Amino acid sequence: MALGFAVGVFGVLILFHAAYSTIQYRGLLKIMEEEFSRPPMNVVAELLLGLVFCIWAALTVPGKFLSIQPYSEENRIVSLPANSDFMIFNHRGKVFPLEMDVKLKH
């Protein structure tokens, strides 16, 4: 996990360096009075490398995926209806009638 975290930090640093290089490049183009069309290829390569490192770190750092056991007592979804704090009865739905006599036109 420490290696994945270090790779993630390195990827973020590469992304920051690519952003800084792009800002420097735009400043240089302003001095030379040229128009900015796209960043240099080395900055694009840095962006792609930093993206790959960050994605790899995001997939490896969180750890092992655990299976969800639906009939567990610790499952929050199973125990949620027992908690009355989340039940709201005073809402806009009471304006509508319970039975709607709507006939579809064919």
- pTM greater than 0.85: no
**Quick one: the chain helix, strand, coil %, rounded to 5?**
60, 0, 40
- Report the range out of 50-54, 59-63, 94-98 with the highest average pLDDT: 50-54
The Cα 42–Cα 18 span in angstroms is 9
**pLDDT classification of 73: cutoffs 50, 70, 90:** low
The Cα 55–Cα 34 span in angstroms is 35
Unique residue bearing structure tokens 């796209």 = 38
In angstroms, what CA-CA distances link 55 with 41, 50, 52, 88?
21, 9, 5, 40
**pLDDT classification of 105: cutoffs 50, 70, 90:** low
pLDDT value at 83 more than 90: no
Determine what percent of the chain is predicted with pLDDT higher than 70: 70
Least confident of 2-6, 15-19, 57-61, 79-83: 79-83
**pLDDT classification of 78: cutoffs 50, 70, 90:** very low
The Cα 47–Cα 56 span in angstroms is 14
pLDDT value at 84 more than 90: no
